[in-house]
């Protein structure tokens, strides 16, 4: 079974600061997803990364993929309160395997 590990599980950061969330997975995959989930809500697709070295950016979020290291990162630049949410990575294999999630709280 493909395993997906995210860290940290909880992240509290001040507005204006930068931070990175890490997603490690155990076997090769050709697709890596990042999602955002607000409390009590569904999952919102942020990024789909399809190849080694892929980098995508949207606003203050930037995701990258290193398939050789089996690592994806979600970098947050100059955090704002609106980014407070839980972020999941997911890896596509025969199934979709989700990480444990990172609960991000941005403090004013």
Partner 1 sequence: EPEVTQTPSHQVTQMGQEVILRCVPISNHLYFYWYRQILGQKVEFLVSFYNNEISEKSEIFDDQFSVERPDGSNFTLKIRSTKLEDSAMYFCANLGPWGPYEQYFGPGTRLTVT
Instruction: Using CB under 8 A, list all residues that contact partner 1.
Output: 31, 33, 35, 41-45, 48, 50, 88, 90, 92, 94-101
CB of 64 to partner 1, least distance (A): 16
CB of 66 to partner 1, least distance (A): 19
Q: Which is nearer to partner 1, 80 or 101 (CB)?
A: 101
Q: Which is nearer to partner 1, 7 or 100 (CB)?
A: 100
CA 14 to chain CA mean position, Å: 19
Phi/psi region, residue 101 (left: phi>0; alpha: psi -120 to 50; beta: rest), is left
Phi (first) and psi of residue 82, to 5 degrees: -65, -15
CB of 16 to partner 1, least distance (A): 29
Phi (first) and psi of residue 12, to 5 degrees: -115, 120
């Amino acid at each position: 079974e493909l395993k997906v590990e995210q860290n940290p599980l909880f992240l509290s950061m001040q507005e204006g600061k930068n931070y990175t969330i890490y997603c490690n997975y155990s076997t090769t995959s050709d697709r890596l997803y990042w999602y955002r989930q607000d409390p009590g809500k569904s999952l919102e697709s942020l990024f789909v990364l399809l190849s080694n070295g892929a980098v995508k950016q949207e606003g203050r979020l930037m995701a990258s993929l290193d398939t050789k290291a089996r690592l994806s990162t979600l970098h947050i630049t100059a955090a704002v309160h609106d980014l407070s949410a839980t972020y999941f990575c997911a890896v596509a294999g025969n199934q979709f395997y989700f990480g444990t999630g990172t609960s991000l709280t941005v403090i004013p």
